[in-house]
Structure 1
Amino acid sequence: MAPALGIATALPAIETAKAQGAGGEPAWRHALSLFGDIKYPADFERYDYVNPDAPKGGVARMISIGTYDNFNMAVAGIKGSLAPAAAQIYETLMAKSLDEVMTEYGLLAEAASHPDDFSWVIYRLRKEARWHDGKPVTPEDVIFSLETLKKQSPFYAAYYRHVVKSEKSGERDIKFTFDAPGNRELPTIVGEILVLPKHWWEGTDEQGRKRDISQTTLEKPLGSGPYRIKDFVAGRSVTLERVKDYWGAKLPVRVGQNNFDELRFEFFRDNLVALEAFKADQADWIAENSAKQWATAYEFPAVVDKRVVKEEFPVNDSGRMQAFAVNNRREQFRDARVRRAFNYAFDFEEMNKQLFYGQYKRINSYFEGTELACSGLPQGQELALLEAVRDKVPPEVFTTAYVNPVGGNPENVRNNLREATKLLKEAGFEVKERKLVDTTGKPVTVEILVESPSSERIALFYKPSLERIGVTTSIRVVDAAQYENRTRSFDFDMIIDQWGQSLSPGNEQREFWSSHAADQPGSRNTLGIKNPAIDALIEKVIFATDREGLIAATRALDRVLLWNFYLVPQFTYGFSRYARWDRFSHFEPAPKYGRSGLPSLWWYDAEKAARIGKRS
């Protein structure tokens, strides 16, 4: 990678640590990277992908899909409708660089230290780190945050379960001890903790009532980030204002960012209504997830005369698996041949043509879109890892490259359905009176559980194909709360699910696919996978000692997951689609792993705004 502008290339962190370490103690590091590759040196001034002279000012009006009734992120988590706003209010110990695969630089923390075996990490807070009320961010805040998130959130309880102890080890130091050595990812995972103000949560509100972090609240939260909540209409909008005396404005990880005076989030329950609001200039940009909408709904006058710009940004920072997720806990899905038959029944090519204007590609990997995806036959380190579990994996893992069935024309569809029927017969099922039945004569039924019109449309397309192989299929549409409850308790036959993947997978793979997570309510192992080979390969991913080993282990895991046919892969698109009113600018070139960079890396461009006229 190129060095920062005007600054010499940094030594890798591990070499720096050896050069600086004294008395056998681990050295303090300004940055952490999974395998030691760090682009920016300790004295760097800014990221390469920001404009340090970006003008401050203006308003950015954004769209959020969904609603909210709570500002307590310990209860709500940092995902969902309020996530973009929460990311501006609260801060973490470290901040990720957007032009490196997996490197974090100090934000609330000025430095970190850990031994070579990664059995613990110490973070040292910056002296200047402050909450918006002027009080310093303390080690007690960090410890309180970790303990609270683990207690209030099943996800974080699992995500941080390997952090067995957190303690104050110095005036501004917090030490985290892990349950075992060798897990390189744990120090950086700890750096991602959302830090909450202990003193505020243990205090009282304006009415003198004691705050309770286990309960929802619409009281404006106290943060330490570049923005605070200015005002809101519950469930409908939130306006953030830039903190003029923000303590971290001159940090290298913040220079040239957070340029708008106000960020306004308008909440819509429906994408179509949101689009109409955008077209009426009630919002400045919109992220478009519908291929149909992108192809057909952006021909209004402002696009034609270029006051509105359509742009696609490559997705280089992550991979994904999206699929019809089969609940392998159900008796009818215990046999892999049944699950594979369901894949043969899915005609992706025809769906892509009819519903998505040919824009999508079929997913062929649990790590689709990254170098971590398996391909061809296993070789080298990957093959060696697979040899160790040969007796626990399908033989095709070693002999056949995984590919999905291809439909798209009547001949292919007939062949695929014949293959599906053959697999079902081999598994002991047969068709009687056009209904698939098991060995006792009981019909095979499947309910596809969905929560949105877009998901329902996909399920409706798939339904006739399943019925052609004799599966009695129904589609159940439920509200968001019921959907959440049923998926958390694994009360479904099939859902549409997705798993995002970073470029450096690690501990989250246990949450996704491990036997431990299969029976844990609320876990991301919605598939119900219990497979000792997969458990073993997950550990190889987590404890990889270099990038080459991580790639090999991840590809081996990917290959075994695919050949067990736990799901029916759907589709993906390698770009994020945005339309925006042309009032803004950003630095070029954009960071490789930053997608659009909206809103943090952009600024209000008064000259452009004057050309297209005032907001409606």
Structure 2
Amino acid sequence: MTCAKYCFRRRWVAGLFGLGGALLTAMVIAAPTHGIALHGQPKYGPEFSHFDYVNPNAPKGGEARFATIGSFDTFNPFNIKGQAAAGIGQLFESLLTGSADEPFSEYGLIAESVEVAEDRGSVIFVLRPQAKFHDGSPITVDDVLFSFETLKTKGSPSFRFYYTNIAKVEKLGERQVKFSFNPGENRELPLIIGQMPVLSKKYWQGREFGATTLEIPVGSGPYRLERFEPGRFVVYQRDDQYWGKDLPVNRGRYNIDRLRYDYYRDVTVALEAFKAGNYDLRMENVAKLWATGYDFPALSKGLVKKENFPHQMPSGMQGFAYNLRRPLFQDAKVRQALAYAFDFEWSNRNLFFSQYTRTRSYFDNSELAARGLPSPEELAVLEPLRKELPPEVFSAAYEPPTANDDAQLRANFQKALQLLQEAGWMFRDRKLVNAKTGEPFRFELLIDEPTWERIALPFARNLERLGIEMTVRSVDSAQYENRVRDFDFDMIVNVWGQSLSPGNEQREFWSSAAANEPGSRNLAGLKNPVVDRLVDQLIAAPDRVSLVTRVRALDRALQWNYLVIPHWHLPYARIAFWDKFGYPPVTPMQGVQLEAWWIDPAKDAALSQSGSGSGKAN
């Protein structure tokens, strides 16, 4: 599942063959429909009025303020230049939009209907006549054609990977556009095209799409950019004239009139600003802060709430990620060895207040995670690749090293030293050195948040006991993004987020083609033909059962390649907020949906009367 749409919002041939060709086309094109699912039928029928996880009668109005870290220097989120402003994706709409209570279904947004060929070899979208950009101009097929070509040739690498199997795009009529696909199984492509943001050809022609810009772009979404100060804040105003406000997919969403994002230097400053009432809501990702950082009067008085919102999303993989482009990390035994020096159990007890579960799968917290030994169905996928896969894929269930006491930790160090010696390293003068060259084993962990230091430094001390020098270098967000984009790092903390329907995005995560593409998400630099084949098979899965099987097979190959030292995860989101919001009682499987929240007038008034909250901030 591509994240084009979701990443930007929280937080993308009828030939002239005569009568016979026309009849054939009629036979293989399904009837127009209001929505499509990756497998099976979408949950919501053609007459649905709203999603189940929204309040269709939510009041409109009010202001919500949020915090973000770092800075911004562009309003173009579609290329790899600069740092895009928080919330900028709310200016842009796509052909279809997804629901949050299904694995992967999409419904008409700019497109009023979609027709998918029975073999999924093509898809036709019919645009809504009322769809328009903020400048009042209609959204046309020419805008769709322009968007596809521009994103593919000038956008971030993700678009090129997502669109690589699209063979042809053509205008069938004033409101009809057809995408034809290359041969091969890729059931996800109609939905991927549905997520494509549609840009204004009129606006972008004559402008450099690949550059950074602080000129306010012309969008078509529920919000307009009202005002900003570079690097300090950006404010969005709900568009009362938004053409899509009464569509079923939007009813009960985008309820808040004004959204403001303020930029802060670091997490510590941002938390103090929240407690001072300078903004309204923060999603907390630091366990220590969640446990101890919110002990302030407004919480005890009930003016601020702390809530856990459960979800059923795969955890993805967060961890200390190796850069396999570095010679130091090209030996899998070295990568395996270093994991024995990370003491998760100690960190969880002493740093995280025992809040976390250790991550062992790239798809934990879901049915997609590989568990135990391969099933017969998984073996059918893996056996043809046995000679090229690590033998452990077939004989063992991957588990990251554990150390429940000092004795286990010492045993882990011994195992690490054994692996390092097998990889050609030896002790000399209390340092680990290459047995052939004498070069010391040293590398840098690159971070952009000081919070990571308290986790990285104990890891560095354990590595020092093995004779390894790991320096921890903290840089500002702009430098960090540039270095990561250019793969200029030894090790970083990275998160590969996963959806309930993995698909074409896996190519950008793991494929050999993405490894040397600046700005791609194959940050590990993995080049493995077996993984390439497993990703291709996953994308071609014809149904949900085979998709789950193929994801598990890929999971095993990734686990035993030791690309990361796995971290931890939670099956819920931690959110603290000043008590001015209303939100639906139902949290969908994909987690809390902030665009379905609203400002409760009575709560907002009570908060203002108390003299607390963001109402007192400038």
Residue 249 of structure 1, CA deviation:
1.2
Give me the whole-angstrom Cα distance separating, in 2, the residues matched to 1:435 and 1:375.
38
1:604 to 589, 592, 599: 599
Task: Please tell me the residue identity of whatever aligns with 1:37.
Answer: Q
Select between 366-375 and 172-181 the one with higher mean Cα deviation. Answer: 172-181
| Residue 201 (1) aligns with residue 196 (2) | no
| Residue 72 (1) aligns with residue 69 (2) | no
| Residue 156 (1) aligns with residue 156 (2) | no
Q: Which residue of 2 aligns with 1:353?
A: 349
Q: Which residue of 2 aligns with 1:52?
A: 56
2:461 to 460, 464, 470: 464
| Residue 542 (1) aligns with residue 524 (2) | no
Secondary structure of 2:444's aligned partner = strand
Contact 2:77-2:84 within 8 A present in 1 as well? no
2:278 to 282, 286, 291: 282
Contact 1:372-1:555 within 8 A present in 2 as well? yes
Q: Which residue of 2 aligns with 1:186?
A: 189
Output one character per residue of 1:115-165: Cα deviation in whole Å (capped at 9) or x when no partner: 122222221111111112221101111121122222132232223222233
The residue correspondences of 1:322-361 to structure 2 (distance < 5 A) are 322-361=318-357
Output one character per residue of 1:414-449: Cα deviation in whole Å (capped at 9) or x when no partner: 010011111112223221221112231322222222
Q: Which residue of 1 aligns with 2:297?
A: 301
1:241 to 237, 242, 264: 237
Give me the whole-angstrom Cα distance separating, in 1, the residues matched to 2:268 and 2:487.
31
Give me the whole-angstrom Cα distance separating, in 1, the residues matched to 2:56 and 2:470.
57
Select between 21-30 and 441-450 the one with higher mean Cα deviation. Answer: 21-30
Give me the whole-angstrom Cα distance separating, in 2, the residues matched to 1:124 and 1:299.
54
Output one character per residue of 1:528-585: Cα deviation in whole Å (capped at 9) or x when no partner: 2222221111111110011110111010111111112122111222221111111111
How has the CA–CA distance of structure 1 residues 397 and 588 changed in structure 2, closer, same or farther, with 3 Å as cutoff?
A: same
Q: Which residue of 1 aligns with 2:493?
A: 496
2:374 to 368, 378, 401: 378
Q: How large is the RMSD of aligned CA atoms in angstroms? A: 1.9
Contact 1:101-1:317 within 8 A present in 2 as well? no
Q: Which residue of 1 aligns with 2:17?
A: none
How has the CA–CA distance of structure 1 residues 585 and 275 changed in structure 2, closer, same or farther, with 3 Å as cutoff?
A: same
Residue 41 of structure 1, CA deviation:
0.8
Q: Which residue of 1 aligns with 2:307?
A: 311
Select between 473-482 and 246-255 the one with higher mean Cα deviation. Answer: 473-482
The residue correspondences of 1:95-244 to structure 2 (distance < 5 A) are 95-150=97-152, 151-202=154-205, 211-244=207-240
Q: Which residue of 2 aligns with 1:3?
A: none
Residue 489 of structure 1, CA deviation:
3.0
Task: Please tell me the residue identity of whatever aligns with 1:152.
Answer: G
Secondary structure of 1:448's aligned partner = strand
Output one character per residue of 1:439-488: Cα deviation in whole Å (capped at 9) or x when no partner: 31322222222222123332222111112112232223333333333323
Contact 2:73-2:83 within 8 A present in 1 as well? no
How has the CA–CA distance of structure 1 residues 107 and 408 changed in structure 2, closer, same or farther, with 3 Å as cutoff?
A: same
Contact 1:64-1:81 within 8 A present in 2 as well? no
Give me the whole-angstrom Cα distance separating, in 2, the residues matched to 1:215 and 1:437.
45
Give me the whole-angstrom Cα distance separating, in 1, the residues matched to 2:477 and 2:366.
31
Secondary structure of 1:561's aligned partner = helix
Residue 227 of structure 1, CA deviation:
1.2
| Residue 62 (1) aligns with residue 45 (2) | no
Contact 2:55-2:252 within 8 A present in 1 as well? yes
Select between 549-558 and 175-184 the one with higher mean Cα deviation. Answer: 175-184
Give me the whole-angstrom Cα distance separating, in 1, the residues matched to 2:517 and 2:605.
56
| Residue 573 (1) aligns with residue 570 (2) | yes
Task: Please tell me the residue identity of whatever aligns with 1:584.
Answer: F
Secondary structure of 1:545's aligned partner = coil
Task: Please tell me the residue identity of whatever aligns with 1:242.
Answer: R
Q: Which residue of 2 aligns with 1:405?
A: 401
Task: Please tell me the residue identity of whatever aligns with 1:291.
Answer: A
Task: Please tell me the residue identity of whatever aligns with 1:86.
Answer: I
Secondary structure of 1:32's aligned partner = strand
Q: Which runs of 5+ in 1 are unaligned?
A: 1-20, 203-209
Give me the whole-angstrom Cα distance separating, in 2, the residues matched to 1:24 and 1:116.
5
Identity rate of aligned residues, in percent? 48
Give me the whole-angstrom Cα distance separating, in 2, the residues matched to 1:215 and 1:511.
22
Task: Please tell me the residue identity of whatever aligns with 1:87.
Answer: G
How has the CA–CA distance of structure 1 residues 577 and 435 changed in structure 2, closer, same or farther, with 3 Å as cutoff?
A: same
Give me the whole-angstrom Cα distance separating, in 2, the residues matched to 1:505 and 1:562.
16
Contact 1:584-1:604 within 8 A present in 2 as well? yes
Give me the whole-angstrom Cα distance separating, in 1, the residues matched to 2:476 and 2:273.
24
Give me the whole-angstrom Cα distance separating, in 2, the residues matched to 1:571 and 1:295.
17
Contact 1:447-1:493 within 8 A present in 2 as well? yes
Task: Please tell me the residue identity of whatever aligns with 2:174.
Answer: E
Residue 389 of structure 1, CA deviation:
0.8
Q: Which residue of 2 aligns with 1:28?
A: 32
TM-score normalised by structure 1 residue count:
0.91
| Residue 555 (1) aligns with residue 552 (2) | yes
Task: Please tell me the residue identity of whatever aligns with 1:613.
Answer: S
Equivalenced residue count is 585
Secondary structure of 1:496's aligned partner = strand
Task: Please tell me the residue identity of whatever aligns with 2:145.
Answer: I
Select between 57-66 and 37-46 the one with higher mean Cα deviation. Answer: 57-66
Contact 1:509-1:538 within 8 A present in 2 as well? yes
How has the CA–CA distance of structure 1 residues 215 and 602 changed in structure 2, closer, same or farther, with 3 Å as cutoff?
A: same
Secondary structure of 1:161's aligned partner = coil
Output one character per residue of 1:156-192: Cα deviation in whole Å (capped at 9) or x when no partner: 2223222233221221112222233320011101111
Give me the whole-angstrom Cα distance separating, in 1, the residues matched to 2:155 and 2:423.
43
Give me the whole-angstrom Cα distance separating, in 2, the residues matched to 1:76 and 1:547.
33
Give me the whole-angstrom Cα distance separating, in 1, the residues matched to 2:263 and 2:181.
40
